[in-house]
Amino acid sequence: MNVGFVGLGAMGREMAAQLVRAGHQVQVWNRSPEPVAALVEQGARAAGTLAEALANEVVVSMLADDHAVESLLLDGGLLESARLDVHVNMATVSPALARRAAELHQQHGIGYVSAPVLGRTDVAAAGNLNILAAGETSLLDRVAPLFAAMGRQTYRLGEQPQLANVAKISANFMLVSAVEAFAEAAALAEANGLAPADLLEVLTGTVFPGPVYAGYGGMIANGRYDPAGFRLALGLKDVGLALDAGAAAQVPLPLAGLLRDALLEGIAHGDGDRDLAALGETSRRRANLTKRH
């Protein structure tokens, strides 16, 4: 399949590489040139302009946030001249933006699919992402080979694209909640003489098995927050999306407000570009425990 790929950040470059390995003809575009050059070495083609990337039959985008998607890809003139059939937006964006994007694409005769993912950069590099997809069934069928190359499972969540974004925002809200819960529990343990690693062993072997506590908990127990697989600043963005979606639907999310403040505190202390697990250091700082880094 001829695929344009827009957005080669930490996740996007790994996802695009999976498409190249699967034998798709991939043309890549990014605002900074270094990731483009790296993908070209792996077999992709470089797009000289964004419009050139949108000349492919399918375009996959993996941009940072609503603003990036809106400023780059929701330009009526750009879509008017685009030759693509389907745009697959795999970024974590707001349901409101997904609705606007779907309407705008429809006006220009272009299919629109939302397909945010669950998984960190190492999962993307292994082609094992879980993909949350929503859009017209015929469009999902058409891009299914791309999902198969990038992920281990695709969850089809309906024909309205924004439903996939609601699922992703809800999942990330719960993820950040879990990380904050262990961060506080680890600080409590450490302040009382119990090694956080020992607490983690108990929890993951009994009531909280699974990748979230094992992965992020292990990073917190060891004070290992770099390199970031999921930046703390992006956690703040996603919790903000949950709060906005809750306000729009009149759904109170009191826990999300607490998480927002914890994330802001971490960013204020310089941890925004560190892994989300740096919430562990925020909890240790509140408890006046000795700084590790």
Summarize pLDDT for 57-108 with one digit per residue, the tens. Answer: 999 999 999 999 999 999 889 999 998 999 999 999 999 999 999 999 999 9
**Annotated catalytic residue, options 24, 105, 156, 168:** 168
- In this prediction, residue 153 carries a pLDDT of 98
pLDDT, tens digit (0-9, with 9 covering 90-100), for 119-157:
999 999 999 999 999 999 999 999 999 999 999 999 999
β-bridge mates for residue 231, sequence order: 275
The residues facing 113 across adjacent strands are: 88
Q: What span, in angstroms and rounded, lies between the C-alpha atoms of 259 and 45?
A: 41
pLDDT tens-digit profile of 150-201? Answer: 999 999 999 999 999 999 999 999 999 999 999 999 999 999 999 999 999 9
Which CATH architecture best describes the domain 2-160? 3-Layer(aba) Sandwich (3.40)
Please, where in the chain does CATH 3.40.50.720 lie?
A: 2-160
In the residue annotation, 291 being an active-site residue is answered as: no
Q: What is the chain's mean pLDDT, rounded? A: 96
Residue 107: Cβ-neighbour burial (10 angstroms; 0-12, 13-18, 19+): exposed
Task: Please state the pTM of the whole predicted model.
Answer: 0.93
Tell me how far apart the alpha carbons of residues 151 and 104 are, in angstroms, rounded to a whole number: 28
Q: Are 127 and 152 in contact (CB under 8 A)?
A: yes
**CATH number listed for the domain at residues 165-286:** 1.10.1040.10
pLDDT at 293: 52
